[in-house]
Amino acid sequence: MKKRILPIALLVCLLSFSTLFASCRILSQKLIRADYETYAYPAEGEFTKIEIDTRVTDVTFALAEDGETRVVCEEPEELHHTVKVEDETLKIALEGTKSWSFYTKDMTMVVYLPATEYDSLRVENSTGNISIPAGFSFEDLAIEVSTGSVEIVGASAKKMNLISSTGKISLAKVTCEGTISISVSTGKALLNDVTCKNLNSTGSTGNLELCDVVASESFSLKRSTGNIHFERCDAEAITVETSTGKVVGTLRSDKIFIAKSSTGSVNVPETISGGVCKITTSTGRIEIEIEE
């Protein structure tokens, strides 16, 4: 009797697993084929600030040629955004209680704005990407994403705070009157043709690549295993700290170098003028040249 029970039990288990697998496959197919439609949300009233709270939405901005504020989203019928103007702030948020984690495709959002200059822009996102094109200016710009990426091209701000975990942060042709703060974990940070007063950046394994980046006051850069690369960059004072990450590249002007690596090689110019450039690593290599 026991010998017969074992094959029957095994057969029941196999049938259960097969049913479960088939159910998951059907569910997955339904999720992949989830219908996405385009919705246009108008917004009435004047505003100087913008707040966006979404989770799986790729967000970009555009100038409204007709001068009318509207938010155009591609989203599933089960999930929608609310758009309103309140306390001189354009507020956009993902509404509803249905979980967004079941959807295999990010939603998209284009925010059409009647002007190009605003007091502040604050965006909170998860897996969605944030893109700010040329021409827009903000007093205070703050963006926080998780796995999503941030791309800013040709925009300006007085203060900029960008946070991403595994996503990439990319700045090109950006001007900031004050401080640019960039925080990443495993994501990369790429800056090209950027001017600011101060640049502060922290990270873990993500690399930091700076090309034609100039700060009138200081660079304060920290990484763990991530590498830091300069190409024709400069600041009055430079402080760099890494663990196993290497620090290499070129600067535009002479510096008084204070460079130390526990086990890595150190090769810096023997210049005795200019601001202080302090570079400290553990096992990482240090190699800096002055651009002729």
Q: Which residue did the predictor score with more confidence, 232 or 31?
A: 232
Q: How far apart are CA 238 and CA 257, in angstroms?
A: 9
- What count of Cα atoms within 13 Å lies in the side-chain half-sphere of residue 29? 6
**Cα 256 to the chain's mean position, in Å?**
33
Residue 14 has pLDDT above 80, yes or no: no
Work out the pLDDT band at 56, boundaries 50, 70, 90.
confident
Sequence-distant contacts of 229-236: CB under 8 A, at least 24 apart: 230/288, 232/291, 235/199, 235/275, 236/275
Residue 111 has pLDDT above 70, yes or no: yes
| Arithmetic mean of pLDDT, 58-62 | 97
Kindly report, residue by residue over 151-206, the tens digit of the pLDDT.
999 999 999 999 999 999 999 999 999 999 999 999 899 999 999 999 999 999 88
Q: How far apart are CA 92 and CA 103, in angstroms?
A: 20
pLDDT at residue 26, rounded to an integer: 41
Work out the pLDDT band at 9, boundaries 50, 70, 90.
low
Given a contact cutoff of 8 angstroms between Cβ atoms, the answer to whether 125 and 57 are in contact is yes
Radius of gyration of the chain from its Cα atoms, rounded to whole angstroms: 25
Diameter of the chain by CA atoms? 93
Work out the pLDDT band at 15, boundaries 50, 70, 90.
very low
Domain boundaries, the chain: 207-292
pLDDT at residue 267, rounded to an integer: 96
Given a contact cutoff of 8 angstroms between Cβ atoms, the answer to whether 211 and 191 are in contact is yes
